[in-house]
Structure formats: structure tokens, C-alpha cells
Amino acid sequence: MNREKVVSISEKIKLALSEISKSEGVEISMGGVSFNSVSFTTKVTVNESNNPETERINLMLSKRYGFTQNVIGMEFVSPSGTFIINGFKTANRKYPILATRSDGKPYKFHPSQILKYIGGNTIINRNANLKNLIG
């Protein structure tokens, strides 16, 4: 297997996973890919989208890292590009916040970086309240 074939197959898998995600009402993401001359391996993660328990845990983790609101799903701009916050990796003490750049590349951030790029807790509260008002 060569890189072009792996990328082509990965794109087809992502397309199929997005269809399954829409029909089942879950979030499906595909992790990094490793390959050799005969096979390739990837990790697929499935999460429930609108689970109240997930919302409660995300709010709890957001507060644990010093935010006043749930920051999952918020968008921010840094010198490296535009990012959307995906989740937390609690085992990583230095960079526990996971975000994906607009081109799909995952990054890790320190909570102070997120506060700086979003504009502080007042902006986070304003964005969260605006999101609740709009729907």
C-alpha cells in the first residue's frame, strides 16, 4: 500500500462514516492512520451527540480547567488558524484541551491559551448565552 491509496480509502471511509453519523444521530470520528506495504490501521470513535450525561461531564471538565461555561464546540482563532474545541484529555496535565483546526488537523492547548484566544471568561459567557438564546 502506498500513501495515495491509503488517503483515497480513508476519504471513502470518512464519507461512509458521515452518512452513518447522520442516520444514527451520533458523532463519529476517525483517528490517525498507520500503514505498511500490505495493510493500514485507524481508530474510529463513536460518541452520542445529545446525551445529557455528556453535557454534564463537559461542563464539569470545563469548570475544572477554569472556564465558567462549557467550552466544547466553541470556535477561536489563534496564530496557527481557526479551531473548534472538541474535548478534553484529562491524562495530559499540560495540554488537556483538544481542538481541531479548520483543515482537520488535531491540536492540544493549555487552558490559558484558550482563554487568551477566545477573549476571556466574559466572552465565553457572552458566546454561551448567545448560543442559548439563538437556539
Residue by residue, DSSP assigns 37-61 as SS-EEEEEEEEESS-HHHHHHHHHH
pLDDT, tens digit only, all 135 positions of the chain: 888 998 899 899 999 998 998 888 888 888 788 899 899 998 888 887 677 788 888 889 988 988 888 888 888 999 989 999 988 999 999 999 999 998 888 999 999 999 888 877 676 666 566 666 665
Contact 21, 27 (CB under 8 A): yes
Question: Where in the chain are the domains?
Answer: 3-48, 52-134
